[in-house]
Structure 1
C-alpha cells in the first residue's frame, strides 16, 4: 500500500483536501522537508518559503509553519504571515526556552494582539525529538485544529 501511495504522490495523483487547505513551511530545514512531504500525502497544497514569504500564495485556508526560530529573518517572516489572510500561524520552538519571536515582532512594531496569534509551541505533545517526529506532531496538530478537535496541544 505504501508503494502505491508514494507513487501516487510522486505522480501528482493524491487527491486535494476537500477544504482546500494549504501548508506553507517557512525556512528550509529537515523538519520543513518532512512536514511538506506528510502534508502533501494528506492532500494539502504545500509550499516552501525561503527566506521569506514573498512569492508564496497565502489565503484563508493556509497554515503557516515557521520551521526555524533562530533565523535572523524570523520577525519579518512572522510579521508578513500575520499580515496575510493565513488561517493559522505558528513557529517551532521548545516551551522550555524563551520565545525569540516575541522580541523580534515587538522590535518591528507588531501589535501585542497580533503577537498573541502566533502559536508556540506547535504540534501535539508526543515528545518529538527528530525532524520527522516534529513534523508529524505539527501536522497532527494542524489536522486536529482543522477538524475542531483539541488534539492534545497541552504542554503542562
Structure 2
C-alpha cells in the first residue's frame, strides 16, 4: 500500500554496507544533498547517537524541509540539542526539530515505530493532532 511518501535513506558512513535499493522507489544516498530535500520534504532521523548528528541536522534545517524530527525517548534530553548548540545553530532553528516523533501508540517493534512515525507525519500534513482528538 502506498501512502504518498518516497523514502530516501541517507547513510553518510561509507563503511556501512547498504546493498541494492529496496523496491517501491526507496533510494539510498551517501549525503543529504543527494536526497533532494526541499519545502515538501519530511526529514526523519532514526539514529540519535550518531557522531555526525549535529552537522546532519544543521544541513537538513538549512535545506528548508517542511518538517524535521528525530527519534528518541521524550524523558531524556536528546543529544542533538547540544550538538546543534555547539555548531552555533540558533535556538529557533533547533526548536524546529521534533522529538519524539510519531503518535503515542505504545510502539515497541521497528514495524510499529514505522507505523507510528508515518501516522504522525500524515496527521501533521493534514493539520491534525493525531491520537483520538477529533
* More relative contact order, 1 or 2 (CA 8 Å, 6+ apart): 1
TM-score > 0.5, shorter chain as reference: yes
- Between Structure 1 and Structure 2, which shows a larger proportion of helix residues? 1
1:92-146 deviations in Å (ceiling 9; x for gaps): 0011222111000001110001000100000000111111111110110000011
1: distance between equivalents of 2:112 and 2:7?
19
The C-alpha deviation readout for 1:44-96, integer Å capped at 9, x for no partner, is: 12211112413110111110000110100111111011101200000000112
Q: Please, which runs of 5 or more residues in structure 2 have no aligned partner?
A: 13-30
Q: Which residue of 1 aligns with 2:112?
A: 133
Q: Which portions of structure 1, spanning 4 or more consecutive aligned residues, are displaced by more than 2 angstroms?
A: none
Match of 1:45 in 2: 6
| Aligned residue-pair number | 115
Q: Name the structure 1 match of 2:57.
A: 78
